[in-house]
Amino acid sequence: MTADKIKELIGSIPGVSLIEDFIIDEAGSLKGRIAVATDQEHADLEWYVEISPTYPFKTMGMEPIHFQNKSLLDYPHIMQGGNLCMHPAEYDNAESQFVNDLEQLKEWVEKYYVRGEKDVHYEHLVVNHHTIRGQYYTFCFAETQEDFTEGDYGIVHYTTLLAGRKKDVPVINCVVQKFVSCVQVKKTERFCKISKFYQELKSFKGVYCLLNNIPSVHNKFIIENYNSIKELFSLSQKNYINSFVVSHRGKCDFFPLFCGYRIPEGGVHWQAMILFMDDLPIEPVRVGTGKNRLWFTDFRQGQIQWAETVDISYKYFFGRGAMPKEVANKKMLIMGVGAIGSILAETLTRCGAKKLTLYDIDNKEPGNVCRSAYPFYTGIIEKTLDITSLLTQISPHVECTGLKSIADLVIKTYAAEHEDKSRLAELFDEFDVIFDCTTDNQLMRVMDSTKTKAQLVNLSITNHAQDLICAFSPNVTETVLLVYDLLKRNTGTDMYNPTGCWNPTFKASYNDIECKVQFATRHIIRMLSRMEPLSNFYITEDDLNLKINRL
């Protein structure tokens, strides 16, 4: 797009005028100045405009056009450099895109500048994340089980995750475990709502202070220097920071200082600055002389080194999508974590499940990897241990436990010796839902006869993953046998025979299994949350569609 074409387009749009002709700079960008009419009470708003050579295409996630006015920093969606943050509709044609962008600019002026509207949705403070001594720092935190008192301060415990990289720079990844208040003589622990797995990892210490106000400039940008933020700390908080430094000198090279503030939605949001022991921004200050001499701690001048913080509370971690709460909160047992069970376990975890118990009698072998959720990297390992490790890596909100494989012996021994299987129900009544993915017909019959209070869900699949069968209690065994008889699949041909004296197993790719398990899980979740009537079903497919057949 040329400067002449820009001039022509601006002239065609009412309320927009050209103040300074567009010219091309050394980088190939077009730069100029325009004005947007407001109303009789306000003067026209002038904007510096820069158009990228790639216009109308975004590159590296950056908009190809910038409207800048540094006098508007107090208004919504104006960034620190004065650029307007907007996300207009996209066009392949540069001229159409430019006209649309100017119309979007006019809408912003009318809504936010003329009418003075504010967004209902709360946005966290804008923090520019820079490398800190050659690496980035990121701290994840979650809401705590108890609220904080005003002016609170104390020790923050955090653990480290695997190191990451971005922009070819190392990232130190951390998760907050708990806050220990030191305001009173008796310390109070406030645990973050994350799983026991992360709570029990090795801890490191930092300091936290609940500030008396939001550490912001223009109510949206983080304060970037110590001189401007020091008034938000109480004298007791500053002195505590100094006491932490004194007691931990020589024990650590740096520590995070978490600065908390209350947000409109309720709760506390945390920003963390990194303080190095060899270059501390705090110092003791003496006031008075002689007997009237007092010492207190204060910040000296300097730039704050802010780390990145991310709120991973359940509502944010699963904010983009999760199963209904009444299902997520259920205590679930998955018996058999092979092809079907491992995919089911991963899906439930990614959908927000909080309490999973896993059971299997087998080890994971390399041959299992191709059609299940397991990684090869972990080698030969008990399936329950491997899938537990995977699930806790996926979600910090899932509590995973395992039943010992000897449970198979206990259950079947009791079943062999007692005609009445109802006493076995005591083993399973603690669960709300039990998924049987074992393909063990003997176990299926025993579980069916226990009459447990838990909802039994039996999942199995035919050879080549032609069909998936789902049966709910009561009468699971009868339903499963009925469906297999109805389908009339030849289950004994074209099976996979591993080396050694193993039972043949069905053939199917991960893709064929996974698509049917996902389809089934979607309906199971809807049934358990009463969005659909509870009914047995089986899934078949033709060349175009998966079909659910209800019984």
Q: Which domain CATH number covers 73?
A: 3.10.110
Q: 125 in a domain, yes or no? A: no
Alpha-carbon span 420 to 88, nearest angstrom: 68
* pTM for the predicted model, two decimal places: 0.90
Confidence label for 236 from pLDDT (cuts 50, 70 and 90): very high
Average pLDDT over all residues of the chain: 92
pLDDT tens column, 357-400: 999 999 999 989 999 999 999 999 999 999 999 999 999 999 99
Name the packing angle between helices 407-417 and 441-450 (round to 10°): 70
Of the listed ranges 286-295, 350-359, 467-476, the least confidently predicted one is 286-295
Question: Which one, of 241, 245, 261, lies nearest residue 253 by Cα?
Answer: 245
Is 294 within 8 Å of 288 (Cβ atoms)?
yes
Alpha-carbon span 288 to 284, nearest angstrom: 13
pLDDT tens column, 455-467: 999 999 998 889 9
Q: 157 in a domain, yes or no? A: yes
Q: Report the relative pairing of strands 204-210 and 164-166 from DSSP bridges.
A: unpaired
In the prediction, which pLDDT does 542 show?
85
Burial of 376 (0-12, 13-18, 19+ CB in 10 A): exposed
pLDDT tens column, 403-456: 988 888 988 898 888 888 778 888 899 999 999 999 899 999 999 999 899 999
**In a shared domain, residues 40 and 169:** no
**In a shared domain, residues 16 and 51:** yes
Which residue in the block uniquely carries the two structure tokens 């008034």?
A: 231
Task: Please determine, for residue 185, whether its predicted confidence score (pLDDT) is greater than 90.
Answer: no
Of 256, 291, 312, which marks where a domain is finished? 312
Q: 68 in a domain, yes or no? A: yes
In the prediction, which pLDDT does 490 show?
65
Task: Give me the CATH number covering residue 490.
Answer: 3.40.50.720
In the prediction, which pLDDT does 469 show?
96
Task: Please determine, for residue 340, whether its predicted confidence score (pLDDT) is greater than 90.
Answer: yes
The secondary element (H helix, E strand) that includes residue 476 is helix 476-487
**In a shared domain, residues 308 and 343:** no
Measured CA to CA in angstroms, residue 511 lies from 132, 462, 464 at distances of 43, 14, 11
**In a shared domain, residues 340 and 266:** no
The secondary element (H helix, E strand) that includes residue 113 is none
Q: How many CA atoms lie within 13 A of 241 on its CB side?
A: 30
Q: Report the relative pairing of strands 16-24 and 30-36 from DSSP bridges.
A: antiparallel
Q: For the chain, how many residues are written?
A: 551
**In a shared domain, residues 190 and 299:** yes
Q: How many structural domains comprise the chain?
A: 3
Contacts of residue 92, defined as CB under 8 A and 6 or more positions apart, other chains included, come to: 56
Q: 13 in a domain, yes or no? A: yes
Is 330 within 8 Å of 324 (Cβ atoms)?
no
Mean pLDDT of 504-511: 81
In the prediction, which pLDDT does 507 show?
78
Mean pLDDT of 136-148: 96
Task: Please determine, for residue 48, whether its predicted confidence score (pLDDT) is greater than 90.
Answer: yes
Confidence label for 491 from pLDDT (cuts 50, 70 and 90): low
The secondary element (H helix, E strand) that includes residue 334 is strand 331-335
In the prediction, which pLDDT does 265 show?
79
Alpha-carbon span 536 to 480, nearest angstrom: 9
The secondary element (H helix, E strand) that includes residue 24 is strand 16-24
Domain region containing 455: 322-550
Q: Report the relative pairing of strands 331-335 and 355-359 from DSSP bridges.
A: parallel
Q: 127 in a domain, yes or no? A: no
**In a shared domain, residues 410 and 482:** yes
**In a shared domain, residues 515 and 371:** yes
In the prediction, which pLDDT does 524 show?
97
In the prediction, which pLDDT does 500 show?
56
In the prediction, which pLDDT does 286 show?
74
In the prediction, which pLDDT does 316 show?
95
Q: Cα dihedral angle (364, 369, 375, 379), rounded to 10 degrees?
A: 40
Alpha-carbon span 354 to 349, nearest angstrom: 7
Q: How many CA atoms lie within 13 A of 78 on its CB side?
A: 22
Confidence label for 504 from pLDDT (cuts 50, 70 and 90): low
**In a shared domain, residues 178 and 210:** yes
**In a shared domain, residues 538 and 516:** yes
pLDDT tens column, 188-204: 999 999 999 999 999 99
Confidence label for 537 from pLDDT (cuts 50, 70 and 90): very high
How many C-beta atoms surround the C-beta of residue 82 within 10 A? 16
Instruction: Could you list the beta-strand ranges (E) of 360-510.
Output: 363-364, 381-382, 399-402, 433-436, 455-461, 468-472
Query: Distance between alpha carbon 21 and the CA centroid of its chain, in Å?
Result: 46
Task: Please determine, for residue 501, whether its predicted confidence score (pLDDT) is greater than 60.
Answer: no
Q: Report the relative pairing of strands 216-217 and 204-210 from DSSP bridges.
A: unpaired
Widest pairwise Cα distance in the chain: 99
Which residue in the block uniquely carries the two structure tokens 């579980």?
A: 447
Measured CA to CA in angstroms, residue 354 lies from 401, 509, 531 at distances of 11, 29, 20
pLDDT tens column, 244-287: 999 999 999 999 999 999 998 789 999 999 999 999 998 887 77
Q: 120 in a domain, yes or no? A: no
In the prediction, which pLDDT does 492 show?
60
What token pair was written down for 386? 């491997």
Alpha-carbon span 433 to 216, nearest angstrom: 48
Task: Please determine, for residue 303, whether its predicted confidence score (pLDDT) is greater than 90.
Answer: yes
What token pair was written down for 127? 């923090």
